Amino acid sequence: MIRATDIHFSYPSGVEALQGVSIEIRDGEFVALMGENGAGKTTLVKHFNGLLKPTRGDVFVDDRNTKELSVAELSRKVGLVFQNPDHQLFCESVENEIAFSLRNFGFDEATVSKRVKWALNFLDLVRYRKTSPFMLSGGERKRVVLASVLAWDPKIVILDEPTIGQDYHQKEKLLHFIRQLNAQGKTVIIVTHDVEFVVDCNPRVVLISRGRIVGDSTAKEVLTDRVVVEKASLVLPQITRLFYQLRGLGLPRNVMDVDEAERLLASLVRRSGA
pLDDT digits (tens, 9 = 90+) for 4-21: 999 999 999 888 999 999
pLDDT score recorded for residue 107: 92
Question: If pLDDT is split at 50, 70 and 90, which confidence band does 270 have?
Answer: confident
Task: Determine phi and psi for 17, rounding to 5 degrees.
Answer: -80, -30
Clarify whether residues 186 and 245 are in a common domain. no
Clarify whether residues 77 and 187 are in a common domain. yes
Amino acid at 214: V
Clarify whether residues 186 and 256 are in a common domain. no
pLDDT score recorded for residue 273: 64
* Average pLDDT value for the chain: 91
Clarify whether residues 228 and 243 are in a common domain. no
Clarify whether residues 263 and 230 are in a common domain. no
Handedness of CA 231, 236, 241, 244 (dihedral sign): negative
- Domain count across the chain: 2
Question: If pLDDT is split at 50, 70 and 90, which confidence band does 1 have?
Answer: very high
Clarify whether residues 17 and 143 are in a common domain. yes
Residue 148: give its domain's CATH number.
3.40.50.300
Clarify whether residues 66 and 111 are in a common domain. yes
> 245 Cβ partners below 8 Å, 6+ apart?
none
Of 7, 3, 186, 4, residue with least CA distance to 81: 186
As a whole number of angstroms, the distance between CA 45 and CA 272 comes to 50
pLDDT score recorded for residue 247: 77
Residue 89 reports pLDDT greater than 70: yes
Stretch among 73-82, 139-148, 164-173, 250-259 having the lowest mean pLDDT:
164-173
Clarify whether residues 256 and 127 are in a common domain. no
Mean pLDDT for the stretch of residues 210-227: 95
pLDDT score recorded for residue 163: 86
Mean pLDDT for the stretch of residues 93-107: 92
As a whole number of angstroms, the distance between CA 196 and CA 86 comes to 26
pLDDT score recorded for residue 267: 85
Clarify whether residues 28 and 160 are in a common domain. yes
Question: If pLDDT is split at 50, 70 and 90, which confidence band does 215 have?
Answer: very high
As a whole number of angstroms, the distance between CA 138 and CA 142 comes to 6
**pLDDT tens profile 47-66:** 999 999 999 999 999 999 99
3-state SS, the chain, equals CEEEEEEEEECCCCCEEEEEEEEEECCCCEEEEECCCCCCHHHHHHHHCCCCCCCEEEEEECCEEHHHCCHHHHHCCEEEECCCHHHCCCCCCHHHHHHHHHHHCCCCHHHHHHHHHHHHHHCCCHHHCCCCHHHCCHHHHHHHHHHHHHCCCCCEEEEECCCCCCCHHHHHHHHHHHHHHHHCCCEEEEEECCHHHHHHHCCEEEEEECCEEEEEEEHHHHHCCHHHHHHCCCCCCHHHHHHHHCHHHCCCCCCCCHHHHHHHHHHHHHHHHC
Clarify whether residues 169 and 35 are in a common domain. yes
Domain that holds residue 252: 237-274
pLDDT score recorded for residue 274: 52
Clarify whether residues 13 and 142 are in a common domain. yes
Clarify whether residues 115 and 243 are in a common domain. no
Q: CA-CA distances (angstroms) from residue 224 to 67, 116, 155, 199? A: 37, 42, 31, 10
